[in-house]
Amino acid sequence: MKGKEQMPNSGERIGLVYHPDYLVHNQEHHPERKERLEQILSTLEAHPLENKIKKITPLPAELGTVALVHDPGYIESIDEACRQGRRFLDMDTYIVSRSYEVALLAAGGAVAGLKEVLEGECRKVFALTRPPGHHAERNRAMGFCIFNHAAVAARSACRDYGLERVAVIDWDVHHGNGTQHIFEADPHVLYLSLHQSPAYPGTGQLRETGCGAGEGYTINIPLPAGSGDADYLLFFERVILPVLERFKPDLLVISAGQDAYYRDPLAGMSLTHSGYYRMAEALSKTASACCSGRMLLCLEGGYHLQGQAGAVLQVLNAIGRWGLPVPEENPPREPAPATLRRLEEVLQVQSQYWPLRGEK
């Protein structure tokens, strides 16, 4: 195909959830705007991926499904706010007249992706939905987020498909306070987050480990600003992958925010496209070993348009084993001393719940 890179005829077909109405929720000059998706789509179209992607068009989520993680009164309040023509739900989270239906469609995108992963031909699906979701609390919009799509999918997997163990891995640069709080007392959903700290929203500290029956099923890895590929991958090797191996999830749900990319304007981390490739590759291998390869990725943040799009491409490249070139943008380095200190702190907290120091 003229003008497109050649790609080896190998790898796995990946489901891609998208609906053009995701572009309707939009405010010019806001970081979370329609160009985020447009750039991703443009980047994917520059490669010969027709036989590598199954396009999935979602329907709006049913209200009862959204109510698995959000209070019915809160859901109704979003509908009413849009009808009244309000412009902001909080100082960060805007709405337009159709934002309620778009938010339902975004939650429906996660549900459609889940259905494909568990019933369809694609074991791995990336839901290109917006607005993002992981900051949305049970009864509160936050941080550009209205409904929590990853949480809807995880809870639906347990209710509608009878899964006993779901792992949610959140690599967005900001802590997913909404997802953590929704599941912090639930031992069936393991929540793991790597995030910049200090940073918005200020949650996700080391000793936030869950409560009640869910104690030990929340793992927070707050990383210092400037953390890059080596730092993230160290925690994958020493914490995330061993915990997943022990937990043996039936499904991996990834809150896939690409705002830890080193050029993102709203954060201060140093991940590269290679780092995203390697994180996704590691999770894909774990999924193959523990849950028949089943992975659902839900788009979260990412505000450098080209950087986010390139990271999404490399995530798909990794989980699909497509063999596209992986750019090396920054010289590799060893984990920073601050990372090694933080690793010891994480091990100290989490080793009371998980065998992370070589214990059997």
Alpha-carbon distance 40 to 280, whole Å?
17
Catalytic pick among 135, 149, 175, 304:
135
349 φ/ψ angles, rounded to the nearest 5 degrees: -75, -45
Taking Cα atoms as reference points, which of 164, 170, 171, 120 lies closest to residue 150? 170
Q: For residue 277, what are its two tokens?
A: 């490739």
Distance CA 299, CA 230 (A): 23
Residue 237 is given by DSSP the state I
Buried b (16+ CB within 10 A) or exposed e, 224-262: beebbbebbbbbbeebbbbbbeebebbbbbbbbbbbbbb
User: Strands, E, within the chain: which ranges?
Assistant: 14-17, 53-56, 124-127, 166-170, 189-196, 218-223, 251-256, 295-299
Distances from the Cα of 303 to the Cα of 10, 54, 173, 267, angstroms: 31, 26, 11, 9
Q: Which two tokens stand for residue 329?
A: 């943008």
Question: Cβ(81)–Cβ(95) under 8 Å?
Answer: yes
The answer to whether 47 is a known catalytic residue is no
Q: Which residue has the tokens 């989980």?
A: 319
Cα gap 273→31, rounded to integer Å:
20
Could you list the active site residues? Answer: 135
